[in-house]
Structure 1
Amino acid sequence: MFRKPILALIILGAIILAGGAFIMITSTPASQAQAQPASLDLTVYNSNIGLVKEIRQFELNTGVNQVVVTDVPSRIIPESVHFRSLDDPDAVVLEQNYEYDIVGSQKLLEKYVDQPIIVITQEGSKHEGTLLSGSDDIIIRKEEGGVDVLKYDQVRQFSFPALPEGLITKPTLKWLVDAAKAGKQDVEIAFLTNGVTWESNYVLVLAQDSSQLDLSGWITLDNRSGATYKDARLKLVAGEINRVQPTPQPRDDYLSLEMAAAPKAPQVEQREFAEYHLYEIPRPVTIKDNQTKQIQFLNAHDVPAEKIFVFDNWSGDFQLTDSGAVQGNVRVKVRFNTGAKGVNAQLPAGVVRMYQPDEDGSPLLIGEDRIDHTPKGEDVTLTVGEAFDLVGERKKTGSKRLGDDAWRESYEITLRNHKEDQDVAIHVVEHLNRWANWEIIHASPQEFSLLNSNTIEWVVHIPAGGEATVSYTVEYTR
């Protein structure tokens, strides 16, 4: 009940002493946070950003208090910080500061200009006097007169009588808080930080006959935010949130790798969140600074799979032949579904590494591909590589202009199967992109599928050691 009269007296004093007078508002000594938060939540997004929410306890006095937290990430986004007392809803944050002037030899010298200093060189000589500059060379005015100029690589040791003001050893958050009541208070602190992100990595093992696969998924969490998060409740958001482009930040080169052991209990709980998908780890997780941690979230067995061969002149490495045709190998793909009869899970974007066992049962790497965020119930098609003994050749056999608003083109695709004991079915994909309106006036084989408004596909069966041909003529009109 005394808060308003006190504020009125301060304002009145400011009016009376206006015109050059100095007013100082004193505050209680700084209230330091406890060593570790009582509660820590970390939500990590795919876009190199994380949301940290902590519950910390402070001893506050009635009136203005200085509150200090030192163990914050060096890549914190200061303007995102939120401070709220859970025990004193009337507490008001008067001022918030983020201090990042970290102590170092260069900073000490810059702050110590015009102060006494002692410098010992590599040869052991002693230079003592007043520091005039420490930005490029070290310039010292000696007590007896004269000036010494030293290069940084000449110096072995600095000696400062005292630490200059304004330097800190860790990034620090400071608040001025006007508390309505005294005592221990639980305070919620939330902020965003750059330098923490996650992605998915998958291991796919394809059966020898390519009819089934096993798929395991790993969350790969990369923390370079400048802080360690101990026993955090970890949530991961899959999806691309819209963000204002941040200022580029430097990244450290050092990286350590920790593989989290996979317990028998469920590793990750999945659920929808807004227009995104959220993964929650049902146990406390410690994420150290400069650490990559992996946690398994998917382990699907005996998933129905299909291996398909695709000849598409828009994808793959094609060479021009002497006849004017383009020639290249047929691409190998693996297709499976994410629905109940498949992996029965939503798949966040990531890299899939594919293996297949050899005759002796040892798995061999057969290819890698990347998938986008894929909801449950969708088909996933992965490119494995190129088939060594399946070759396709595409040649334009005719082209004619039919006036100002029409054009006719003819193509022939020849497919060769060099496998000695295996028949194959090859998907031949053609893109009709000259004009928006088109019509196939001749096709062999006649049966083809429409994949989209300008893409068609044939499925051609070729016996072992055999050859097959696809030909068609298309007319375009404006």
Structure 2
Amino acid sequence: MRFTSFSGALFLSCLPVFTQAATHLSADQQTQLDVTLYTDNLGLVQETRSRPALPANQPVFLEDISQQMQTETLRLNKVGRIKEQTLNQAVLNLTTLLDNAIGNNIILARRGADGQELQQTVRLLSAQGNTLMIEHNGRIETITRGDEWRIIFPDMPDNLVLKPSLQFTTAGAPNAGEANISYLTAGLSWQMDYVMTLNTARDAMQLQGMASLQNMTGTDFKNARIKLLAGNVNQVQGNGRMYAKEAMMRATMDAPMASAISEQQSLSDYQLYTLESPVNLLDQQRTQVPFISQEDVSVEPVLTYRFRIGANPEQQTTTLKPNSVIRFYNNQHHGIGKPLPAGNARF
């Protein structure tokens, strides 16, 4: 392959230019953020962001949102009448750049023996793993991507974004104000883990519970007020799917905020808990927060057997190993008396 020598060459990417100025609403404009986590890879995000006046038909980009947003559940209030909305999930990275460049020209560059950079314009035919198939001087060639090669893209595709965002246009909102945003998203979940420490007499225990919060949405939720919903929400595919989700979404949004996690609220067959302090729920992280701490819970050690009794028992002795069980009652008299979410218990 023949290369052209360049010294100190500078290539600038061409960015898309909008004929009408766009408004960007990022997490920096957040004035309130509430996140409700369900136990089965589902969550509800509710937030308020300050916004300027919105001219009619002006593009508005809602940034710092979940990459797994369920757009059919999105609610935008106080932004004017929504005319159109699009979720942009095509994030700029090397894979998406190569996919968009197939059929177009790219520039291959590497350092020559004299230290100067050699560049050649070729047409990209395909990109599979580390192998590029290119057309050069009417011939088809393959090269392997590595430290030796550098790929220069002449421009930035208009359909790629630096991070996921929701683009929408409205009929206009003449005055500055606050936008209310809520949506359901996959990628959020939580679970309970209990540690139960018995005393020497084995008639009481200390109960410690930690809630593990997991965020796999692709975005950070900083300084969020966290609510935890205990119970399995119906997510069956079909006509009943969205009814079940939206019904739970409305119930969670309408419930008042509790001042502490001990003041749980009942929502039909579910329990809703609110963490006392805001939490930084960062992407790709598992965060543990104290859920319950109870001293001197009365317990009862029990030995149990399980065996089969037939109509004609055999005339022989069977040795059985008993199971050691710790039993306690969830009521105020025995030291608890509040609903406990399902989880793993370790003694």
Instruction: Report the counterpart of residue 38 of structure 1 in structure 2.
Output: 31
Which of 283, 306, 326 is residue 300 of structure 2 equivalent to? 306
Instruction: Report the counterpart of residue 338 of structure 2 in structure 1.
Output: 345
Instruction: Report the counterpart of residue 270 of structure 1 in structure 2.
Output: 264
Residue 84 of structure 1 aligns with an amino acid whose one-letter code is N
Which of 134, 137, 142 is residue 149 of structure 1 equivalent to? 142
Larger Rg: 1
User: C-alpha deviations, 1:267-292, integer Å up to 9, x for none?
Assistant: 65322223211111122221111222
Distance, in Å, in 2 between the alignment partners of 1:277 and 1:160 is: 53
Higher relative contact order (CA 8 A, sep 6+): 2
Q: 1:333 Cα deviation (Å)? A: 0.4
Instruction: Report the counterpart of residue 202 of structure 1 in structure 2.
Output: 194
Asked if structure 2 preserves the Cα contact closer than 8 Å seen for 1:197 and 1:223, the reply is yes
Structure 2: stretches of 5+ with no match in the other structure: 1-17, 239-258, 309-313
* 1:50 and 2:43 correspond: yes
* 1:135 and 2:127 correspond: yes
Which of 85, 92, 100 is residue 111 of structure 1 equivalent to? 100
Distance, in Å, in 2 between the alignment partners of 1:165 and 1:225 is: 24
Once the two structures are superposed, the pairs formed by residues 325-474 of structure 1 within 5 Å of their partners are 327-342=319-334, 343-354=336-347
Q: Secondary structure at the match of 2:71?
A: strand
Q: Secondary structure at the match of 1:29?
A: coil
**Which has the higher mean CA deviation after the structures are superposed, 212-221 or 105-114?**
105-114
Q: 1:129 Cα deviation (Å)? A: 2.3
Q: Secondary structure at the match of 1:226?
A: coil
Distance, in Å, in 2 between the alignment partners of 1:122 and 1:75 is: 41
Report the CA distance shift for 1:312/1:183 in structure 2 as closer, same or farther (over 3 A). same
Q: Secondary structure at the match of 2:339?
A: coil
Instruction: Report the counterpart of residue 285 of structure 2 in structure 1.
Output: 291
Asked if structure 2 preserves the Cα contact closer than 8 Å seen for 1:202 and 1:215, the reply is yes
Instruction: Report the counterpart of residue 84 of structure 2 in structure 1.
Output: 95
User: C-alpha deviations, 1:365-411, integer Å up to 9, x for none?
Assistant: xxxxxxxxxxxxxxxxxxxxxxxxxxxxxxxxxxxxxxxxxxxxxxx
What is the TM-score of this pair, normalised by structure 1? 0.57
Which of 64, 67, 75 is residue 60 of structure 2 equivalent to? 67
Q: 1:177 Cα deviation (Å)? A: 1.1
Asked if structure 2 preserves the Cα contact closer than 8 Å seen for 1:94 and 1:177, the reply is yes
Report the CA distance shift for 1:126/1:133 in structure 2 as closer, same or farther (over 3 A). farther
Distance, in Å, in 1 between the alignment partners of 2:316 and 2:21 is: 84
User: C-alpha deviations, 1:308-331, integer Å up to 9, x for none?
Assistant: 0001138xxxxxxx9887654110
Instruction: Report the counterpart of residue 6 of structure 1 in structure 2.
Output: none
Distance, in Å, in 1 between the alignment partners of 2:302 and 2:105 is: 78
* 1:168 and 2:161 correspond: yes
* 1:81 and 2:74 correspond: yes
Q: 1:75 Cα deviation (Å)? A: 2.0
User: C-alpha deviations, 1:319-364, integer Å up to 9, x for none?
Assistant: xxx988765411010111111112222111001110xxxxxxxxxx
Instruction: Count matched residues.
Output: 299
Asked if structure 2 preserves the Cα contact closer than 8 Å seen for 1:217 and 1:297, the reply is yes
Q: Which has the higher strand share?
A: 1
Distance, in Å, in 1 between the alignment partners of 2:260 and 2:180 is: 30
Instruction: Report the counterpart of residue 251 of structure 1 in structure 2.
Output: none
Q: Secondary structure at the match of 1:340?
A: coil
Asked if structure 2 preserves the Cα contact closer than 8 Å seen for 1:204 and 1:213, the reply is yes
Q: Secondary structure at the match of 2:223?
A: strand
Instruction: Report the counterpart of residue 219 of structure 1 in structure 2.
Output: 211
Asked if structure 2 preserves the Cα contact closer than 8 Å seen for 1:28 and 1:64, the reply is no
Report the CA distance shift for 1:341/1:178 in structure 2 as closer, same or farther (over 3 A). same
Report the CA distance shift for 1:132/1:291 in structure 2 as closer, same or farther (over 3 A). closer
Asked if structure 2 preserves the Cα contact closer than 8 Å seen for 1:269 and 1:282, the reply is no
Asked if structure 1 preserves the Cα contact closer than 8 Å seen for 2:26 and 2:64, the reply is no
Instruction: Report the counterpart of residue 437 of structure 1 in structure 2.
Output: none
Distance, in Å, in 1 between the alignment partners of 2:50 and 2:19 is: 19
Distance, in Å, in 2 between the alignment partners of 1:35 and 1:194 is: 19
Instruction: Report the counterpart of residue 233 of structure 1 in structure 2.
Output: 225
Residue 236 of structure 2 aligns with an amino acid whose one-letter code is V
Distance, in Å, in 2 between the alignment partners of 1:42 and 1:174 is: 22
User: C-alpha deviations, 1:43-71, integer Å up to 9, x for none?
Assistant: 11111111001111222344212110121
Q: Secondary structure at the match of 1:200?
A: strand
Q: 1:153 Cα deviation (Å)? A: 4.8
Distance, in Å, in 1 between the alignment partners of 2:177 and 2:132 is: 48
Residue 290 of structure 2 aligns with an amino acid whose one-letter code is Q
Instruction: Report the counterpart of residue 281 of structure 1 in structure 2.
Output: 275
User: C-alpha deviations, 1:216-244, integer Å up to 9, x for none?
Assistant: 11111111121111111111111112112
What is the TM-score of this pair, normalised by structure 2? 0.78
Residue 157 of structure 1 aligns with an amino acid whose one-letter code is R
Asked if structure 1 preserves the Cα contact closer than 8 Å seen for 2:91 and 2:164, the reply is yes
Q: 1:145 Cα deviation (Å)? A: 4.6
State the identity %: 25
Asked if structure 1 preserves the Cα contact closer than 8 Å seen for 2:260 and 2:274, the reply is no
Instruction: Report the counterpart of residue 8 of structure 1 in structure 2.
Output: none
Please report the RMSD computed on the Cα atoms of aligned residues, expressed in angstroms: 2.8
Residue 58 of structure 1 aligns with an amino acid whose one-letter code is R
Asked if structure 2 preserves the Cα contact closer than 8 Å seen for 1:269 and 1:281, the reply is no
Q: Secondary structure at the match of 2:95?
A: helix
User: C-alpha deviations, 1:102-126, integer Å up to 9, x for none?
Assistant: 1222211221234332123698895
User: C-alpha deviations, 1:147-192, integer Å up to 9, x for none?
Assistant: 432134586311112212211121111111111x423231111111
Asked if structure 2 preserves the Cα contact closer than 8 Å seen for 1:309 and 1:332, the reply is yes
Which of 12, 29, 33 is residue 21 of structure 2 equivalent to? 29
Asked if structure 2 preserves the Cα contact closer than 8 Å seen for 1:201 and 1:351, the reply is yes
Report the CA distance shift for 1:328/1:128 in structure 2 as closer, same or farther (over 3 A). farther
